[in-house]
Structure 1
Amino acid sequence: MASWSRPAPAGPQTRVARVASRVSTIELLFDLVFVFTMSRVAEIVVHRPDAAGVAQGALVLALVWWMYDAFAWLTNQAAPDSTGYRIALIGAMAAFLVMSLAIPDAFGSTGVLFGVSYIVVAVIHAALFIALGGAAAGRRMIVVGTSNVLVGVLLVVSGFVEGPLDWVLFTVPLLLFLASALLSARGGFDPGASHMVERHGLLMIIAFGESIVSVGVGATEHEIGASLLVGTVLAVALVSALWWCYFDGDDTRAEARMNAVAPARRTGVALLAFYLEHLAMIFGLLLLAAGLHGLFVDPFAPLEPADAWLIGGGVALYLAGDAAYRGTLDLGPVATRLVAAPLAAATAWVGIAVAGAWQPAALLAVVVAVLVVENARRSPALPRRSDAPA
């Protein structure tokens, strides 16, 4: 019979055993829904590539990412090793999928469905955390979980209104998230470093994958020719360079840095690094994916301004978020990435004034230059993965 009860009060050894050390296969299955979620958020921006569309996409992603990340924290605190736990995660996965179906018109006709599915996800998460996450975390989750359900209620109400009030009802939850984060940072959680870093690295792989899928989808809609092949290769090379920025040893160093953070500060650091700064990186990749949809109409013709700014702005946001993440965990130099971010945004003029294919080429040059400079200046105290002790 599956066990749903709260773990008995225990000492440090039992507490360590309850925290997941590595990502489980059911978590990988759970995260596959995030692939679909990203594509649905990208649809908002693709169909409305203006400031309002980008803002809608940002709000929706921030709301959904809060709960996705909440489940990463749940499985960090209690490994999904019982039948009942796994069934509940599958139920939450189904609710997330329904929520994703409602995303493109969450500000309109599917707003109620979006809000109801959000409530279901929040209830499942809170119930599991209170039952399995430990006494201190469970007490915090009573308040945080109630706040998350209230967010869902606000989203349901937004489904019945239109205009400025709709925007208010989608923005107020961000204040509730801030209050929840400040409460959580006071203690009650003790995130396990290896699981936290690995799980978010896998979610970043999904975000990179969405960009690659956008390249493929955009390319298949047009006749194969030399210009299409050049544009495809350049786009894939750019996404690969951005992947390199994240996985060039930062994942190994992040685990060590998280382990070195004092327990009293670890929750606050994890919220900043893995919710907020990863949100910025993921949204940057999503904007890039949305902009790449327009690249393949004619890679050697000037881009539509909206697509060019999505591509340049997406890479700029990714680099800025990555620099902030590096700074929070002291993973390495951040100045080069902060300098590269506005340069990346400025490449929009290349795509608009010259040709679409030249913009990913210019962005690739910027990102490669960052990697070359940083590797040349790498400190011996920050080893590569291959240099790390076994």
Structure 2
Amino acid sequence: MPSRDLPTDRIARIAARVSTVELLFDLVFVFTISRVAQIVVHHPDATGIAQAALVLGLVWWMYDAFAWLTNQAAPDTAFVRIALIAAMAAFLVVSLAIPEAFGATGVLFGASYIVVAVIHAALFIHRGGRAAARRMLIVGPSNVLVGVLLVCSGFVEGPIDWVFFTLPFVAFFFSAALSARGGFDPGATHFVERHGLLMIIAFGESIVSVGVGATGHEIGPALIVGAVLAVGLVASLSWCYFPGDGGRAERAIAAAPREQRTRLALVAYYLEHLAMIFGLVLLAAGLHEVLGDAFAPVEASGAWLVAGGTALYLVADAAYRRTLSLGPVAWRLAAAAVALATVPLGTTLSGAAQLTAIIAIVVAALITETTAGRRSTVATTAA
């Protein structure tokens, strides 16, 4: 039977911090991002990027759904922990099927997605509180239906396959609209921390791509310089996300009226975090190409993936900051536009030149933003 509604103080206790079983659960996400990036690496064109975007959007919906689950229901019993481990195993199978989800492994992708959706709905109905359970009686079957559509995609080819992969987002839209009307009340501390950890995983996968891209290449100056620059670029992007924003985001969600928290969380942490993560996926795929020979000109696809992935990440990060009123965004948007202009550097000079330029652009934007913010604070205090 569903439990009674969770009072605010209990939600605060449940959502105080991320548990160790959640950290274990999130490790599968490393593999998931890697498998999505493989789609782009093997098909660095519009079709491959579109397939990767759809697959990541589908998987992120359910991954984020488990962050909502543990935000409302602490994994403090053996039953819940075992169920989460079972979901983790199902997610691993989902990830295994990702590279050929539009082909040979479509049925496996959909079937394992159904298992994940059933476990999530059952846990939420059992442990999430009465109001959340009522919502989940609608949202849960909708998520299972998404899995059914994906299973169906495994039996077809061509344009109809794209239809089966696109229709789930209609279901997601209606589920999000229903959820925004109430029933969930995200605890700010846990919610922000959990998504911050998922972003660390996404940044980490970009670093892993350095090692994967280096495989099979002679260790020499070009590889070493390329690897160092790749780490520098990922570090500069992580600088955009972490210093101070977590605390401000937590306060913004906690201070929002209860009826607005779910909407804010859906926009900021499903939609805008999805865009940031996909930007990092594109970047990881581009780094895979650049690291072949960082001192040589890069194929146009690799240069566009590096620049486009960086730009998408910066735009999504700016949107996230704007949604939660975390701070200025103009310099980040400007950096995104200038990053796109580095493509000729990569295609005519070298990947190293392009990576160096993008690092300089991002760092300069952040330093300028910080300096301008300090001046504004001093001027306000003086007034």
Identical residues among aligned pairs (%): 68
3-state SS of paired residue (1:212): helix
Could you tell me the TM-score, scaled by structure 2's length?
A: 0.96
Tell me the distance in 2 between the aligned counterparts of 1:331 and 1:10: 29
Q: Does residue 1:40 correspond to 2:28, yes or no? A: no
Number of equivalent positions: 377
1:115 pairs with 110, 113, 119, which one?
A: 110
Q: Which residue of 2 aligns with 1:63?
A: 58
Residue 286 (structure 2) aligns with: 291
Pairing partner for 1:6 from 2, 9, 27: 2
1:172-321 equivalence runs, <5 A: 172-321=167-316
Compute the displacement of 1:235 (Å).
0.8
Q: Which amino acid aligns with 2:39?
A: I
Residues 124 and 204 of structure 1: CA distance in aligned 2, closer, same or farther (over 3 Å): same
Structure 1: segments with no counterpart, 5+ residues: 383-390
User: What amino acid sits opposite 1:313 in the alignment?
Assistant: G
**C-alpha displacement of 1:255:** 0.7
Verify the 8 A CA contact 2:146 2:168 in the aligned structure 1: yes
2:381 is aligned to none
The answer to whether residue 128 in structure 2 is matched with residue 133 in structure 1 is yes
Q: CA deviation at 1:15?
A: 4.8
Counterpart amino acid of residue 19 in structure 2: S
Q: Return the offset for 1:7.
A: 2.8
Alpha-carbon deviations, 1:195-218, whole Å to 9, x = none?
A: 010000000000000000111221
Separation of aligned partners in 1, 2:7 and 2:155: 50
Pair 1:9–1:171, CA change in 2 (3 A): closer
* CA displacement 1:310-342 (0-9 Å, x = unmatched): 110000000000000000000000111111112
The alignment status of 1:361 with 2:356, answered yes or no, reads yes
215-224 vs 149-158, greater mean Cα deviation: 215-224
For residue 102 of structure 2, give the secondary structure of its aligned residue in structure 1: coil
- How far the C-alpha of 1:16 sits from its partner, in A, is 4.1
Match of 1:373 in 2: 368
The alpha carbon displacement at 1:14 in A equals 4.0
Match of 1:76 in 2: 71
Measure, in 1, the Cα distance between the counterparts of 2:300 and 2:274. 25
Cα deviation per residue 1:126-162 (whole Å; 9 max; x = unaligned)? 0000110000010001111111000000000000000
Distance (whole Å) between structure 2 residues aligned to residue 9 and residue 52 of structure 1:
45
1:204-254 CA-partner distances (Å, limit 9, x unpaired)? 000000000111221232111112211111111110000111012111111
TM-score after normalising by structure 1? 0.94
Task: Report the CA distance shift for 1:11/1:198 in structure 2 as closer, same or farther (over 3 A).
Answer: closer
Contact 2:11 2:187 in 1 (8 A): no
1:178-206 Cα distance to aligned partner (Å, 9 max, x none):
11101100011000000010000000000
Please provide the CA RMSD for this pair.
1.4
The SS at the match of 1:187 is coil
Q: Report the equivalent of 1:385.
A: none
Deviations 1:151-176 (A, max 9, x none): 00000000000000000110011111
Q: CA deviation at 1:95?
A: 0.3
Among residues 159, 168, 176, which one is paired with 1:164 in the alignment?
159
Q: 2:249 corresponds to which letter in structure 1?
A: A
**1:49 maps onto 2:41 in alignment:** no
> 2:318 aligned with 1:323, yes or no?
yes
Q: Is contact 2:332–2:366 with CA below 8 Å preserved after alignment?
A: no
> 1:40 corresponds to which letter in structure 2?
R
Matched, 1:31 2:26: yes
